[in-house]
């Protein structure tokens, strides 16, 4: 009763441009950590093999160091790793794979399948039907040949492919490299391990996208997992179990602040996220000066706690209350300036006006603090 892990879309070498070099490189590093963790789990669970359904690397031209580091990260599992190239790391005449070979970085237990031919693992009881990508994009179904190929009896027919299952996934995600939705049936496969879709998704009982083991975008349901697949005998329904491995969840919140309690709610919500995450916060509505101060404080704390925090306050108006203004002791023409900015905020604020108000109130507060201290 063979048992293996199904994973895909490691995207090793991916950089997170929007998070800057500091946070980005940590997130890039985390992907290698996750591979280490997969090896650990494979060993721990003594699985027969690990299948990687494409996009192991994020790009063809990653550094030599990155290539070596990946294969080192895989050393934690001595059993066979069976992987195919995806669209990001297609087996072109010169590719990340030819380089890995030249570097002699690929351990013997790692089988990189770059030609669409059956690979038999008699001792494991597996016949692997691979559909490696040899071009960046194809527009015909690379798994079509699965239907017409025979395998030795007694071996499980395991397909492994990278692309979009037709008619199931959203159009905007790598819709090239099509895969027929009923391939598992038509090719009499015991299991079809798919890659390319970063969320974890079941297509039918024998066909699964494992998703990426480390989340790398806000919109991907069930990302951060691998699949443990057990098939008792040929033709039996596989039992598929997701195992979470990801380090950093990606959260995207959109909150509207209207009354003081909204801010308190948000603050609580933020404090409840106890795992370091990648957090995107879009705030709209309005706050008063005190609220603004509190919000800055909380955002600053959250920024320190989480792997990355990005907040978009463009839609948040700053509306000082009369008490705020009184507290600032802004008399004379300063008071007039504040009033003018406040009215502008009321009439549909510009970001600039809000910033100006924040600067002015902070200057006034600083002066006040300075004055009191002196």
Partner 1 sequence: MKLTRLRINQFRQFRVPLEIPEFRPGLNLFCGPNESGKSTIAGAIRAAFFERHRSSSVDDLRPWGDSGAAPEVELDFECDGQPWRLKKRFLTRKRCDLNIGGEVLSGDEAEDRLARMFGYQQPAKGASKPAFWGIPGLLWVEQGTGHDLRAPVAFAGEHIKSVLAATLGEVASTGGDDILQRVESELNELVTAKTDRPKGRFKEYGDKAEQLKTDLAALDLRIETYRQQVDRLGELSQRQAKEQAERPWEALREQQQRAEGRYQEVQQLSERQAQDQMALERCRNHLQVVLDRLQGFQLQASELLQRDQAKRVVQARLDDFLAQQNAVKGALQSADSLYKQARETDRLSRLAQRRRELQQQKREMEGRRTHLTQSLIQARALEKDLSREEAALAECCLDEVQLKVLERLSESQRDLSITQQSVATLLRFDLEPGQHIDLDGVRLEGQGEKRLLQGSDIHVHGVGRLHVSPGGKDLHELARQLEYATERLSAALAAAGTGSIEQARERAEATRSLQSTLSANRKLLALHAPQGGPALEQELTVTAQLLGKVDEQLEAIGDLDSSNLPDPQMAEQTMEHAATRLAEAERAERQLREQLIQNQQALNHAHEEYLNAQASLAKPERRQQEEQCHSTLASLRVEQAQLTQAIAQRALLIDEARPDILLQDIKRYQSSASQLELANRQRSDELVGLQAQLQAQDAEGLEERRAQRAAEFENWSRRHQQLERRTRALKLLAGLLTDKRQALTRQLQAPLQKHLNHYLQLLFPQAVLEVDEHLVPGQLVRLNQESGDFDALSFGAREQMGLISRLAYADLLKEAGRPTLIILDDALVHSDQHRFAQMKRILFDASQRHQVLLFTCHPDNWLDMGVPMREIHSYH
360 binds partner 1 (CB under 8 A): yes
Instruction: In angstroms, give the least distance from the CB of 278 to partner 1.
Output: 14
CA angle 144, 145, 149 (to 5 degrees): 140
Helix, coil or strand: residue 341: helix
Task: Report the length, in residues, of the chain.
Answer: 374
Instruction: In angstroms, give the least distance from the CB of 227 to partner 1.
Output: 28
CA–CA distance, 79 with 144 (Å, rounded to integer): 29
CA–CA distance, 59 with 87 (Å, rounded to integer): 9
**Which residue's CB is nearer to partner 1, number 63 or number 261?**
63
Instruction: In angstroms, give the least distance from the CB of 128 to partner 1.
Output: 25
Closest-CA residue to 76 (of 35, 27, 108)? 35
Both structure tokens of 253: 């919140």
Q: Show contacts with partner 1 in window 76-105 (CB under 8 A).
A: 92-95, 99, 102
Helix, coil or strand: residue 104: coil
Both structure tokens of 335: 């008071």
Q: Which positions from 4 to 23 touch partner 1 by CB under 8 A, shown as an x/- string?
A: ---------xxxxxxxxxx-
**Which residue's CB is nearer to partner 1, number 60 or number 225?**
60
Residue 195 exposure: Cα atoms within 13 Å on the Cβ side: 30
Q: Strand 164-165 relative to strand 178-179: parallel, antiparallel, unpaired? A: parallel
353 binds partner 1 (CB under 8 A): yes
Both structure tokens of 125: 């009881």
Residue pointed to by tokens 């709209």: 284
114 binds partner 1 (CB under 8 A): no
Q: Which positions from 18 to 57 touch partner 1 by CB under 8 A, shown as an x/- string?
A: xxxxx-xx--------------------------------
**Which residue's CB is nearer to partner 1, number 153 or number 332?**
332
355 binds partner 1 (CB under 8 A): yes
Q: Tell me which of 26, 59, 149, 181 binds partner 1, using CB under 8 A.
A: 59
351 binds partner 1 (CB under 8 A): yes
Residues that bind partner 1 (CB under 8 A): 13-22, 24-25, 58-66, 92-95, 99, 102, 329-337, 340-341, 351-356, 358-360, 363-364, 367
């Amino acid at each position: 009763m063979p048992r293996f892990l199904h994973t895909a879309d490691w995207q090793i070498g991916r950089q997170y441009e929007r998070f800057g070099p500091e946070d980005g490189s940590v997130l890039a590093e985390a992907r290698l950590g996750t591979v280490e963790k997969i090896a650990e789990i494979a060993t721990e669970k003594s699985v027969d093999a690990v299948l990687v359904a494409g996009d192991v690397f994020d790009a063809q031209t990653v550094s030599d160091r990155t290539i070596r580091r990946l294969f080192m990260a895989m050393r934690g599992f001595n059993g066979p790793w069976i992987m195919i190239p995806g669209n990001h790391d297609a087996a072109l005449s010169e590719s990340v794979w030819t380089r890995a070979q030249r570097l002699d970085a690929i351990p013997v237990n790692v089988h990189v399948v770059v030609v669409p031919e059956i690979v038999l693992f008699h001792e494991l009881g597996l016949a692997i039907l691979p559909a490696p990508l040899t071009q960046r994009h194809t527009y015909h179904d690379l798994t079509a040949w699965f239907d017409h190929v025979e395998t030795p009896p007694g071996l499980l027919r395991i397909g492994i492919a990278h692309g979009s299952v037709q008619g199931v996934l959203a159009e905007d995600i790598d819709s090239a490299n099509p895969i027929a939705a009923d391939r598992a049936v038509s090719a009499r496969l015991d299991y079809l391990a798919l890659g390319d879709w970063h969320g974890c998704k079941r297509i039918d009982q024998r066909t699964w996208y494992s998703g990426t083991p480390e989340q790398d975008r806000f919109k991907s349901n069930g990302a951060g997992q691998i699949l443990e697949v057990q098939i008792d005998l040929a033709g039996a329904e596989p039992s598929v179990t997701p195992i979470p491995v990801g380090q950093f969840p990606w959260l995207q919140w959109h909150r509207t602040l209207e009354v003081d309690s909204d801010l308190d709610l948000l603050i609580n919500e933020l404090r409840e996220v106890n795992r370091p995450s990648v957090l995107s916060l879009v705030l709209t509505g309005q706050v008063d000066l005190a609220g603004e101060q509190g919000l800055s404080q909380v955002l600053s704390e959250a920024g320190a706690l989480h792997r990355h925090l990005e907040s978009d306050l463009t839609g948040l108006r700053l509306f000082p209350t009369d008490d705020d203004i009184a507290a600032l002791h802004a008399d004379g023409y300063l008071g007039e300036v504040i009033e003018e900015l406040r009215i502008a905020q009321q009439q549909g604020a510009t970001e600039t006006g809000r910033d100006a108000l924040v600067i002015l109130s902070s200057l006034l507060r600083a002066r006040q603090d300075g004055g009191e201290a002196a």
